[in-house]
Structure 1
Amino acid sequence: MPTSSTGSNPGYVPRAAVRRRRPAQPTRARTDLARLATRLTERDVWLTEMLHEHKVLTSHHITALAFTGHRTANRRLRELYFMGVVDSFRPLRTAGSAPEHYTLGKAGAELLAARAGVDLPATGWRKDACARIAFSPTLEHTLGINALLVRLAANDHLPLWLSERSATRLWGDWIHPDAYAHHGAAESDQLLPFFLEYDTGSYNLARLEAKLPGYAALAATTGTRTPLLIHTATARREAALRRRLAEPADRLDLPLATGNAQLADPAADSWLPLDSTGPATGRLTLSQLSTHWTNVTPALTPDTTMPTTGRPTTLPWRPIPPRPPADRT
């Protein structure tokens, strides 16, 4: 799968973006949802939910998850754009061109609100939502997380994937992970639940070390034992991180493994457990990690519920499958 327009491309200009224009249409207060519903497939509705959950996906990400060809994906995405279901921008590069980046459009947000029986503000959508994402200083970080997990989900190896926002709402009293996911078949002995910390190298290692007690507190409070995977930008950064975290990870009894962006495939043998005891081991696949650690349990179970404030200020929460329900065509 082609790389996203993140730090992997030195010509990426994160603070600049261009947007295509829609044909002028009569001004109306709300979308004609009844008419729109006749033009949308189950895959289209799934895409609105994915964009609401994960903020931004490139055309390459969407192709890998939901289509068999990039041309077919671009054709449908263009149609959804002109319906207002999705919005899009293209970050500028000093050389070459970036793929189209898609966010949730107004019609898509209205559709989600109508399906949930809430008002549009409950979706969190704003008129400037696309621009805010396009010019966000955390865009590169968000795209990096999404690109890594899309590669796992595209091979049908990721039945569950929660965004940073959902993970924080669930476990924010203890931790603020960049993502939470399950790798492997749900009923398999090789199911690996994990939290992900995606490190771009933008802050010092002490900040990463300071997160470990929170994961230990979550495990002690909930009676779960969910591994933590830390993905770094370079092998050198990973080596420094491992030296820094070896002692606290052992003291807190945290199952922890590291990887880096210089390794080709996150689904391959790219993850190195941080074990101070037992025989030395090389890099493992995620499936091998599931058997490397004992007594691993998922933090998210069918009985887990999202905390509420008593007000319908957000959409009713449920996990969004990383793959669409319809056939990929």
Structure 2
Amino acid sequence: MPASAPNPGYVPRAAIRRRRPTPPARARTDLAHLATRLTARDLWLIELLHEHKVLTTHHIHALAFTSSRTTNRRLRELYHLSVVDSFRPLRTHGSAPEHYTLGRSGAELLAARAGVDLPATGWRKDHTARIAFSPTLEHTLGVNTLLTQLATTNGSLQLWLSERSATRLWGDWIHPDAYAHHTGASSQLLPFFLEYDTGSYNLARVEAKLPGYAALAATTGTRTPLLIHTSTTRRETALRQRLADTTDRLELPLATTNTQLFTPTAPAWLPLTTTTAPTTRLTLDQLATHWPDLSPAGTPETTLPAPGRHTTLPWRPTPPRPPTDTP
């Protein structure tokens, strides 16, 4: 039997071209126009991206928004305003979340608020590309993930400075990966420097950092712990064996943990001393009471300023107002 004639209006499915709506082209946005479009939370995000270089969608959602849908919608709007830029690294397994950096309009706004020219912010046309292809990208993301976890656990992280800001303040002595203030349920302050150890350095190089921390404490009259987060339990064990004598000799408060044990609220930190070291791991709250006479880090001239006036440093890693579901 001959095949029946097709419907005259029929179009084979394979011939249908699937069309996606084309997003509007990105362009530089006038700063006066931005003033009518940006919220206090947006301005905070601009400063946060300037301070910490790159944050994923997951980081930003956890820090400032109440739903992933709202997060993605607002970030897409900020992207089309050139306030933020983004990239997505290629992975051999699965897919990476979107990674956000500071865009040109965001950098121009930051410069205008600080009363400086754009180059003073450190932003360049290849800003996002330099971060995306940086050999230290995974290290930066590891630090930012750990501190984001602490910042979103009961709001316990009150201060978070990046490696760049810490180096600007204490670069004559140390180059930590971050500096932060933690306040837990006991309301006792735990200031700390963070070294995020991925295992790429040999143990001698890690040990060589300790005298700098001791020299800073002696120069400024402060006592601030050093927390070292390592990649594996095996690496942590080897590191503790290597650092034990130096830590005791320098009288440096130091504790370690590793990726396999760490969670924000669990007792994951083990102080390193040969005399008073506990046999079990402690939470950050317990570390604050384990070491007596702790004090925030300072500089030879002054201690760190308290949060207050506008600054290019996001002293508090939380938005300036409670997050809402609307921009």
TM-score using structure 2 length? 0.86
Task: Determine the C-alpha separation between the residues in 2 that align with 1:24 and 1:290.
Answer: 51
CA distance, structure 2, for counterparts of residue 265 and residue 278 of structure 1? 24
> Secondary structure at the residue paired with 2:90?
strand
Q: What is the rounded CA distance, in whole Å, between the counterparts of 1:91 and 1:279 in structure 2?
A: 42
Q: 1:267 deviation in Å?
A: 3.2
- How far apart, CA to CA, are the structure 2 residues paired with 1:133 and 1:279? 40
For 2:312 and 2:63, how far apart are their aligned partners in 1?
A: 22
Separation of aligned partners in 1, 2:168 and 2:285 = 28
1:300: how far off? 4.2
Asked if residue 328 in structure 1 is aligned to residue 323 in structure 2, the reply is: yes
- Look up the equivalent residue of 1:85 and give its one-letter code: V
User: The residue matched to 1:93 in structure 2 has which SS?
Assistant: coil
1: CA distance, partners of 2:142 / 2:218: 30
Matched residue, 1:161:
160
Aligned to 2:261: 263
Residues in 1 aligned to 2:278 and 2:265: alpha-carbon distance in whole angstroms: 21
Q: 68, 71, 75: which one pairs with 1:70? A: 68
Match of 1:89 in 2: 87
Distance change in 2, residues 1:300/1:47 (3 Å): farther
Residue aligned with 1:242, SS: helix
SS of equivalent to 2:89: strand
1:24 has 2:22 as partner: no
Q: Where in structure 1 are there 5+ consecutive unaligned residues?
A: 1-20, 307-314
AA of the residue aligned to 1:46: W
- CA change 1:220–1:22 in 2 (3 A) is farther
Q: Identity over the aligned pairs, expressed in percent?
A: 74
SS across alignment from 2:88: strand
What SS is found at the alignment partner of 1:71? helix
What do residues 180-236 of structure 1 show as CA deviations (whole Å, max 9, x unaligned)?
A: 0000069x6521000000000011010000000000000000000100000000010
Aligned residues of 1:31 and 1:110 also touching (Cα < 8 A): no
For the residue of structure 1 that corresponds to 2:188, the secondary structure is: coil
Superposition map of 1:1-329 within 5 A: 23-24=24-25, 31-155=29-153, 156-184=155-183, 190-278=188-276, 280-300=278-298, 303-304=302-303, 317-329=312-324
Change (3 A) 1:194 1:124: same
Q: Partner of 2:256: helix, strand, or coil?
A: strand
Separation of aligned partners in 1, 2:244 and 2:129: 41
Q: Offset of 1:25 from its aligned partner?
A: 5.4
Q: Which runs of 5+ in 2 are unaligned?
A: 1-21
Distance 1:25 1:293 in 2: 52
Q: Which has the larger radius of gyration?
A: 2
Task: Give the drift of 1:281.
Answer: 2.7
C-alpha displacement of 1:24: 3.2
How many correspondences in the alignment?
Answer: 297
TM-score (norm 1): 0.86
One-letter identity of the residue aligned with 2:139: H
The 3 A distance-change label for structure 1 pair 279 and 36 is: closer
Contact 1:159/1:185 (8 A) holds in 2: no
Tell me the distance in 1 between the aligned counterparts of 2:66 and 2:289: 33
Deviation at 1:22, TM superposition (A): 6.5
Separation in 2, partners of 1:141, 1:256: 21
For 2:100 and 2:54, the matched residues in 1 are separated by: 6
Output the aligned Cα RMSD: 2.1
Q: Provide the secondary structure at the position in 2 that maps to 1:165.
A: helix
Residue identity in the other structure for 1:210: A
Q: Distance in 1 between the 2:101 and 2:277 partners?
A: 46
- Residue pair 1:190, 1:288 contacting (<8 A) in 2 also: no
> Is the Cα contact below 8 Å between 2:158 and 2:315 reproduced in 1?
no
Label 1:264 to 1:277 Cα distance change in 2 as closer, same or farther (>3 A): closer
- Is the 2:114–2:312 contact (alpha carbons within 8 Å) kept by the matching residues of 1? no
Q: Displacement of 1:305 after TM fit?
A: 6.2
Question: Offset at 1:318?
Answer: 4.0
Q: 1:193 to 1:25 in 2, by over 3 A?
A: closer
- The one-letter code sitting in structure 2 at the alignment partner of 1:181 is A
